[in-house]
Amino acid sequence: MRRTNKAATAAAEFEPIRVEPAYRKVAAALLDRITTRAIPAGDRLPPETELARQFGVHRGTVREALRELETNGLLKRERGSKLMMVTRPSRDDVASKMSRALSLHEVTYHDVWEALTALEPPMAAAAARQRSAKDLAHLDALLGRSGKEVDTDGAVEQAAAFFHAIGEATHNGVFMLAHEPLVQLLVPSLGAMIDKVPQARARIADAQKKVVGAIRERDAAAATDWMAKHIRDFRRGFEIAGIALVKPVGAD
């Protein structure tokens, strides 16, 4: 009598075919045109009735698809217009969604600091090479606030804005999108660190001054070194404040 290998039979089973709602297929088709720039940012889509005709679906199906793309920041309806316009999600929106995803995946403070250690020094070097006069003016304005913010919220906002300004000064869209979610993850805990470490404000101010000085002189090597020291010092502040680096970000 022939014996059947049940384990092998189970492993060979096929997955059920996923049947997606029609509006998801419409949204996917529109998304493909948007991401390939066949429909560029600023262009308006045809009316819902025309899209329904082209796709061969009900108007309500098209409306659901448009609503999904609008929620994701890819479409918007300007005031006074009935037509949806293709747009680009802002970096803040993209970063916020990525931050939430990272938090849900339970990344730790150690994970975030390790990523910042890899990203921020080369970003400072890129800023030194690519910065404009406008970038320097923005960084100088932030330095004017560094160490002088009386309330903790102001100090946290300034520290986050400094990292954001370094990203802007690189004029590299990948750098800007890559580090922003990490900075957003740290912001809620920066206040606790600044309050618990008396020397934190002065050390942050000094490090920012050194980084900006290197960027001003277009000294990429010095900018790299000072930013690396700044990141290490920031991390050390978390350790002194008793914020466990092995703890998932946002966990109580």
DSSP 10-44: HHTPPPPPP---HHHHHHHHHHHHHHTTSS-TTPB
Q: What is the pLDDT of residue 11?
A: 66
Q: What is the pLDDT of residue 31?
A: 93
Number of other CB atoms surrounding residue 157 within 10 Å: 16
Residue of 10 and 26 predicted with greater confidence: 26
* Helix, coil or strand: residue 84: strand
CB 113 within 8 A of CB 231: yes
CB 215 within 8 A of CB 170: no
Write the pLDDT tens digit of every residue in 127-150.
999 999 999 999 999 999 887 777
- The Cα–Cα gap between 133 and 227 comes to 20
Write the pLDDT tens digit of every residue in 11-24.
678 888 777 899 99
> What mean pLDDT comes out for the span 90-110?
86
Q: What is the pLDDT of residue 93?
A: 82
* Helix, coil or strand: residue 223: helix
Residue span(s) of the chain under CATH 1.20.120.530 come to: 92-240
Q: What is the pLDDT of residue 9?
A: 55
- The Cα–Cα gap between 205 and 144 comes to 9
* Helix, coil or strand: residue 74: coil
Domain 22-86 class in CATH: mainly alpha
Residue 246 CB contacts under 8 Å (≥ 6 apart), including other chains: 108, 109, 110
Specify the range with the lowest mean pLDDT, choosing from 127-141, 212-226, 231-245.
Answer: 231-245
Q: What is the pLDDT of residue 247?
A: 87
| Residues in the chain, overall count | 252
Residue span(s) of the chain under CATH 1.10.10.10 come to: 22-86
Q: Which CATH architecture has domain 92-240?
A: Up-down Bundle (1.20)
- List residues bridging with 86 in a β-sheet: 75
Tell me: pLDDT of 88 over 90: no
Write the pLDDT tens digit of every residue in 55-76.
999 999 999 999 999 988 899 9
